[in-house]
Structures are given as C-alpha cells and as structure tokens.
Amino acid sequence: MNAQTADQTGNGMTRKVRVVLADDHPILRTGLKMLLEAAGDIEVVAEVGDGVEAIRAARDLSPDLFVLDVNMPRVDGLTATTEIRRILPRSRILVLSMNDEDEFLYKSVKAGGNGYVHKRSAQEELLLAVREVMRGGTYMREATKSRMLADAFDRWDGDPDATPEDLTPREKEVLKLIVSGLTNQ
C-alpha cells in the first residue's frame, strides 16, 4: 500500500499526500523535501521554520500530514502538535527529533502525534513512518515500543481489568494496539 490518500480526484486518480515540513533548519527541510518528493506519491505543500508557522499552515492549507521537529523557536513542536490536532483532528502528525529519550516520545503521543522518528534514522525509516501513519497506524521503533510497553506494565497496579490511571487516552490506544500484536508494518 502506498502513502496516497483515499480521496479521489475528478479523473479517478488518487492524489498525493500533502505534507507540511516544520523544522528550524533550512538545510534539513530541503533534504527532507527532496527525500519525500522522490517517493513520487508525496507533495510537500509548505516548509516552515517554527511552530507558529506550522499552525498557520494547518489553518491555511489543511495538509494530510505534518512532519514536525520537537525543538523549534516561538512555539515548539509538541505545543504545535496539540494545536494542530485541535484544528485538524484528521491530519496525521509525525514528530521528528534529535532527542532519543522516551520522555519526548511520550510527550509527542500525549500531544496527539501519530509517530516519532529520530533524526539519525535512515531515510527508509522516515518513508516507512510516513506510510504507516498515513494508513492510520502509529509509528515508533520496535525497541521504543518494547520500552513503552514495559513502562506501562511497570505502572500497572496488578489488576488485570484495570487501566493505568496515569496513561492518556492516546497512550492507552497505542498500548492496546501493541498488546494486540500490531507492529509498525
């Protein structure tokens, strides 16, 4: 399955996935744009340098997908994720970060992110993540999913019918998907 959306154009062809890239490093944005557009089924409709511009793009462009850096000026990527989720609840959000700590993954999921990719990842991983979140899934590395699941069980109170009180609804959703055996693929 490719990353094209299910919406049909007037000629019966599926349209390209419309993406907004948000990162405060112009060279990185240029590289990401080249990588994504080389896939053939993805169109970068805007490149922005901070969270304020990303939120504006949500209002003005209604893209299918946002690729957001965590650390940006004016409004950070996690705050922008929360606001974009409020404006466009059906848009997908892939968080891109240099931070390798699980704390940022948890915060991105809590903010409404659909996936988390480390900037050191291979280009194939970014494309895999884009396709997974566009299919409606959640993307994170397998090792990260294992740690997240272990952490959730560490917080479990022992009652097999109980739900951990300190998990957000989105974290509970991701946990249920992991427990049901779903993978990034």
Q: What is the pLDDT of residue 108?
A: 81
φ and ψ at 111, to 5 degrees?
-75, -15
Give the residues of the chain that fall short of pLDDT 50.
1-10
Q: Please answer whether residues 68 and 93 qualify as being in contact, where contact means their C-beta atoms are separated by less than 8 angstroms.
A: yes
Domains in the chain (CATH in brackets) are 17-140 (3.40.50.2300), 144-179 (no CATH)
Reading the block at residue 94, the tokens are 């892939």
pTM of the model as a whole = 0.73
Cα 154 from Cα 141, distance rounded (Å): 20
Q: What is the pLDDT of residue 141?
A: 73
Q: What is the pLDDT of residue 38?
A: 92
For 20-48, how does the pLDDT look when each residue is reduced to its tens digit (9 = 90+)?
999 999 999 999 999 999 988 999 999 99
